[in-house]
Chain A
Amino acid sequence: MNIVVCIKQTFDTEAKIVLGANGKIDTAGVKLIMNPYDEYAVEEALRIKEKVGGEVTVVSMGGDRVQETLRTALAMGCDKAVLVSDPALESPDEWVSAEVLAKAVAQIPYEIILTGRIAVDDGSSQVAVRMAEALGIPSVSSVLKLDLQGSKALVTREIDGGTEVIEVPLPAVITAQKGLNEPRYPNMPGIMKAKKKELKMLTLNELGLTGADLGPRASIIRYSLPNPRSAGKKIAGEAADAAKELSRLLREEAKIL
């Protein structure tokens, strides 16, 4: 089976977010990782490959540093990588990302496309669905269980308060929710082998696109950091009185009772 996984390089989830002088998020010195939801997608792709055979191609877009994350996917066991890297792609919106990824994926034979349900940085959850639309194939989001049955897939997805089971013809885009699987670590032999695997770099030109085709439809006006958490309040006195005071504060000040 030909499997494509789309991954995004994001900030480490423990990274401290700092806004630079230009008001944008400062990426200098920040550790970058594979978007954790995309790790589930990679793991699921590898499990499918281990079960039914095939080839896993991992696709991403962004600057040179994204190669590190693609190498991680190759070290986990993916076979090939494709990176679309172009100066014109410095700040793509979701539409641009989806168009570019769809073009890149269209060059690769695929029967299923996997990716994370959301990226932990901008959290839009749009790109996978838009990409499916651009490719003219169905998509199922927030998947907890994936069962391939010939030319279709039986998919369990998370919905508010429960799950639903959907049958979808292949090829389809499936986005992974936490719980789909437990991603493996790349092992030592995998890391050594990853160096020798193919990592193809593509420019927009090579995808038949130009920067002019891809003017973002939306632009970010401003970033702001959340307000710092204020210090907690300590209620002194006897337990019974303190409980009374706590209940009053929760009612009148915090307004949560």
Chain B
Amino acid sequence: MTQQAQGSRVYTVGDELPTVKRVLSQEKINRYAEASGDHNPLHMDPAFAATTQFGGTIAHGMLVLAYISEMMTVAFGERWLRSGRLKVRFRGAARPGDTVTASGRVSRIEGESTLCEVACRNQAGEPLISGEAEVRT
């Protein structure tokens, strides 16, 4: 379903942000590799990836992070583009077939800044990314 940015909404502490859900596939990972120019075989070569600690291909961290950015765009609209800040850690690998959900919650409001706890999790609830996002008015 197409997400519409809701940048005019006013959020208060504790509010949940609208989630973004995506199903990963090897084809999508390959498409991101083409766009980003990151052809690391860990993402694209199943035979190579099978020899690594991951046991198979995984998605680029920046691809999964893009789902958090989309969630922030939906929640805050142009404000996210004008004044966004992200600080995250990549905590787990997202694999082809995984359903990734980006979620967030307003944790603090400090002056002109709205700070949100943000995360991506897979279908088992395992954390893929966690961190903080900030927008200013």
Are A and B physically bound partners?
no
Residues on A lying within 8 angstroms of B by beta carbon are: none
